[in-house]
Amino acid sequence: MLSYVLDAIDESDARRQVAGAGLAFISIARERSLNFGSRATRMPLVTFSQELVALLDAGLSLVESIETLAEKEAAPAVRRTLDQVLVRLREGQTFGAALAEHPVSFPTLYVATVRAAERTGALREALTRYVAYQQQVDVLRKSLINASIYPAVLCGAGLLVVAFLMGYVVPRFSSIYEDLGSNLPFASRMLMQWGQFLDKNGFAVLVGTIATIAGLVYTFSRPAVRAAFARRIASIPALGSRLHIYQLARLYRTVGMLQRGGTPMVTAMRMSAGLLSANLRPAFANATQAVREGRSLGDAMEKYGLTTPVSARMLRVGERSGNMGEMMERIAGFYDEELSRWVGLVTRLIEPALMSLIGIVIGVIVVLMYFPIFELAGSIK
């Protein structure tokens, strides 16, 4: 469930930012699944950056490195993009300007990192920092998704067993009890009536079930519905607070990386606003405006509810030491550890709870089916 909400938040963020043209910012968790043109070819930014750094460290120039990467690239769409970047580099444009012409392939954050590095002459260090940043984001997201796999498998297996019992076994038992004409308990009688109805109208029920599933799939494929469902789930206190921490972790890590790369604080905050959900963006916009007007970052973020007690103190320490970028990345790491502990605890609790619930449901169905047989055996004795 948590991973579904994260997907909905990321997807709605991406669609809003793409529509924003010049302020386009694709969610960082989806950078590696960006498409080129009409084809679903992915741009592996992490791999691209790692290989580019390796070639630069080997002594190749930037143009030679891009040429090498384009020659070895097997995906035609990726190769076309790299060739177009090469053309711009040979025309005298900067690397950042060449990448900025392909916003779908190279998100705003990546371009900003490269442009800041060009001003300081530390392109290799900036790309290495971006790779580490992206890997940390992926680790957190993968841990959340992996934690939801086993509960999803349990739910799926339980639903299949219940569907088999209700769709195949119960109708067979209902015909047997109908012939016996026994007086059934109320719960068993309701179950048998369902079986008789299904036995007589099985095809119509099957068609209706397929149509219902198709309708639900179509409904939840709509971005507006997914976003509304995500907001409703996020309103649950236990989940809402953790989703809040998750978004703050992404925000602090992004702003911190941009700061360490030489991007001014206000610019870094403005570029990172797309990572937040719609309900947090007004508060973050107010905090950004306060920082622009000269207020300290710690006070601004705390005033608008974008900190926790620990992160507020750490921000003040970062302001006094003048090392705000590194401090914000430490805050993000602290949030990651907090989320990991919570996910581990919830996973340990929810797995036995789901198994118990599935067992109880299946057990009740089986007992209701066999209860008339027990009654009949007792009456014969």
pLDDT 10s digits, 151-169:
888 888 888 888 888 877 7
Which residues on neighbouring strands pair with residue 39, listed in sequence order?
Answer: 36
Q: What share of the chain is helix, strand, coil (3-state, %, to 5)?
A: 80, 0, 15
232 or 67: whose pLDDT is higher?
A: 67
CA separation for the pair 60, 53 (Å, rounded): 10
Average pLDDT over residues 198-205: 79
Task: Say yes or no to pLDDT of 26 above 80.
Answer: no
Class of domain 22-131: mainly alpha
Q: What is the structure's pLDDT at 15?
A: 44
CA separation for the pair 256, 327 (Å, rounded): 7
Decide: 194 and 168 in contact? Cβ < 8 Å. no
Query: Which fold would CATH assign to domain 1-21+132-381?
Result: Receptor-associated Protein (1.20.81)
Q: What is the structure's pLDDT at 180?
A: 55
| pTM attached to this predicted model | 0.64
- Cα maximum dimension of the chain: 99
- The confidence band for 184, taking pLDDT boundaries of 50, 70 and 90, is low
Domain extents for the chain?
1-21+132-381, 22-131
Other residues' Cβ atoms within 10 Å of the Cβ of residue 306: 23
Do 22-131 and 1-21+132-381 have the same topology in CATH?
Answer: yes
- The confidence band for 11, taking pLDDT boundaries of 50, 70 and 90, is very low
328 or 169: whose pLDDT is higher?
A: 328
Percent of the chain with pLDDT over 90: 2
- The confidence band for 368, taking pLDDT boundaries of 50, 70 and 90, is confident
26: left (phi over 0), alpha (psi -120 to 50) or beta: beta
Q: What is the structure's pLDDT at 24?
A: 34
